[in-house]
Structure 1
């Protein structure tokens, strides 16, 4: 349940001080594989397709990532989720790509994706079976990592299903971490253990990202429920090691207004931005949302701390993230079923006192001067996203 933070000036000052203070020394060390120094940008087939994945889908998606402008906006990983293999390993103990779904084999598919200037990801689980019942990698970490590296895999989503033996998560995921490193190939390691088993403690030293909650679905209620869990994780995030509130549902069941709010908030959270829609047939509204480079830039910028909620007025909230240039990215969120005014101030955002401020609307791509007020009329289930910085242009001046 969300806590009501109130709106007093004193509380705003305390919250801002906590948000914008330099991160304290942390007992854990990020995974030192040199990867994901900014959150991963890409696509995963699961949200839109489930087990209906094959060679044609992945090739066509790689094509669409380029032709839609997503690659130019920074997206690069095309990831195959569950159900890609046969139901049994071969006589040597190797996983085998389903020859009907992937007739050319995974190496040829990886070569195609790489030929587009993109990278390719694959899926397994830290158990005996994947979530869909296919063979997984517990006890086969070195063999599987070596196979994926030989195919040219660049990213692994590693799930938490099939752990029938009760082996602790830290041990199971660390085994795959070490196996990936031993291949010598740079493979981003995405820990998908749903925020359980104390991953908040060991996640940063194990994966380049780790899930903070259960699975997302394409409805506003679930998106908001996942959002509510994120403030408790904010201090764990840093370059090379990111909190993961799960993949994007932009272009699936959300309205365009909801999708824009969802995308704004995930960017503010420094989340991996993994589109989960059909890139081949997305609407112009969906494409525009996913390729908003000003919002993507917020996700890719590390200002010392992940964004978090700094004010909660019931259905109206303020979320903020310090940026490396001294500005602050802000999401003014309206969770209600009717439109509402959502406001904050430069002082509450932790910005220094100044004669004026510039408030840039990251969706309208316009900037306005302000004496310190930051306010917007926000539609139902919507959000405004701005970037606030000090300015020498006072309100009313040309």
Structure 2
């Protein structure tokens, strides 16, 4: 898991690069990269422990958060994959070469945890690494354990694998990209042969961010998995500027529209809304922007302590519908200035979602002409925060709070009252 940059000075460069990608044609991708059954035809949703708990993850922590997903209603809204990140395993493999859960942290083991999650109507996700060790120094799958681990994951009823890219070893005569590609291809093949349909989250692009091979790696990631982490991690709980981290990850992800499609998703990392370090408007902005970008909605928070306002933002059914729209389009950037971004997303039924981000530290009025977002005539605009509807034949208007995001769903209307 790449570290979040200590400086945001590279953001402008990544934004310019990403903006230039709109015409880029990715390598032929497939939602059947790891299974004969198409997987993740809409962006995965769920919970992961990492950004809140780091290596302090335990069985009781996972169970408590899983139970909270169910009791709060978030699971019923789609947040149903519970993933255990790094540091879940013992420091060494068994004598026969198998991964073993840390008995102090996970006394019942991984098969029990998978069974528990499934009994709650949830799915089970797990973490490993394509290198010799995980980022936390635990046993990795590479280069010789992909098949063994995939079979074990299948036997534990794992539904989702996050495969990180720390400690991938160089090989004579091979480029770094070729070594990574070989490792992730091996994992994909092992998952396909495991006998269980397992979604594969690929971290390889994050290790090439900003370099000349970044786009190439993103391009082939859709051949070996269904989603990919393409850049720096979101800020950990209790660290630094979490809003700055949200904006950084949004910045590198927003231009990668050509790589997104059903079964293949750009992943700018976890939803941290409501988890400390973001105010209410910033939390709402992250949810709205991730939904517009068809990003995976994977919480990394203490779900047991989320406020009612946070739960309302994270569980906003209007925005979840935009994120999960079956057409699978990532929003395009209609306009961008130092103060605002306007995003437009075509939806499967012909509607369009429009979001306006206020980057500044003070409230700003916004006016977005219908023509600038590809609409004309009389339009019905539904505010996806309040649910209020109105009609217009000219422009969308709003007063947007500092670091806030206004978002509407637009559809054709029969007539506008002058």
Could you tell me which of 250, 258, 263 is aligned with 1:235?
258
State the secondary structure of the residue aligned to 1:184.
coil
Could you tell me which of 366, 373, 383 is aligned with 1:342?
366
Unmatched tracts of structure 1, length 5 or more:
6-14
Corresponding residue number in structure 2 for 1:370? 392
State the alpha-carbon separation in 2 of the partners of residues 48 and 300 from structure 1. 25
1:167-206 alignment runs, 5 A limit: 168-193=179-204, 194=206, 196=208, 197=213, 198-206=216-224
Corresponding residue number in structure 2 for 1:41? 45
State the secondary structure of the residue aligned to 1:262.
helix
State the alpha-carbon separation in 1 of the partners of residues 181 and 255 from structure 2. 20
Corresponding residue number in structure 2 for 1:159? 164
State the alpha-carbon separation in 2 of the partners of residues 52 and 175 from structure 1. 30
What's the CA shift for 1:248?
A: 1.0
Contact in 2 for aligned 1:177/1:189 (Cα 8 Å): yes
Corresponding residue number in structure 2 for 1:9? none
Corresponding residue number in structure 2 for 1:104? 108
What's the CA shift for 1:26?
A: 5.5
State the alpha-carbon separation in 1 of the partners of residues 201 and 248 from structure 2. 22
Could you tell me which of 192, 205, 211 is aligned with 2:229?
211
Could you tell me which of 139, 149, 153 is aligned with 1:148?
153
What's the CA shift for 1:369?
A: 0.8
State the secondary structure of the residue aligned to 1:50.
helix
State the alpha-carbon separation in 2 of the partners of residues 270 and 111 from structure 1. 30
Distance 1:81 1:278, change over 3 A: same
What's the CA shift for 1:201?
A: 1.8
Deviation per CA, 1:36-69, whole angstroms, max 9, x where unpaired? 0000010000011001111111111111111001
Corresponding residue number in structure 2 for 1:28? 28
Contact in 2 for aligned 1:121/1:153 (Cα 8 Å): yes
What's the CA shift for 1:164?
A: 3.0
State the alpha-carbon separation in 1 of the partners of residues 30 and 346 from structure 2. 21
Contact in 2 for aligned 1:42/1:78 (Cα 8 Å): yes
TM-score w.r.t. length of structure 1: 0.91
State the alpha-carbon separation in 1 of the partners of residues 135 and 26 from structure 2. 33
State the alpha-carbon separation in 1 of the partners of residues 266 and 253 from structure 2. 8
1:385 to 2:385 alignment? no
State the alpha-carbon separation in 2 of the partners of residues 2 and 83 from structure 1. 34
TM-score w.r.t. length of structure 2: 0.87
State the alpha-carbon separation in 1 of the partners of residues 397 and 326 from structure 2. 25
Distance 1:226 1:24, change over 3 A: closer
State the alpha-carbon separation in 1 of the partners of residues 81 and 413 from structure 2. 38
What's the CA shift for 1:2?
A: 4.4
Report how many aligned residue pairs link the two structures.
379
State the alpha-carbon separation in 1 of the partners of residues 289 and 328 from structure 2. 17
State the alpha-carbon separation in 1 of the partners of residues 234 and 295 from structure 2. 13
Q: Which is further off, 137-146 or 52-61?
A: 52-61
State the alpha-carbon separation in 2 of the partners of residues 342 and 171 from structure 1. 48
1:296 to 2:307 alignment? no
1:75 to 2:91 alignment? no
State the alpha-carbon separation in 2 of the partners of residues 289 and 188 from structure 1. 26
Over the aligned positions, Cα root-mean-square deviation in angstroms equals 2.0
What's the CA shift for 1:395?
A: 3.6
State the secondary structure of the residue aligned to 2:396.
strand
Deviation per CA, 1:177-217, whole angstroms, max 9, x where unpaired? 11011011011100012162532220111111011211111
Unmatched tracts of structure 2, length 5 or more:
1-10, 237-241
Deviation per CA, 1:91-133, whole angstroms, max 9, x where unpaired? 0000100111111111111111000001010001110110111
Deviation per CA, 1:154-197, whole angstroms, max 9, x where unpaired? 10010010113355211111110110110110111000121625
Corresponding residue number in structure 1 for 2:289? 265
What's the CA shift for 1:273?
A: 0.4
State the secondary structure of the residue aligned to 1:297.
helix
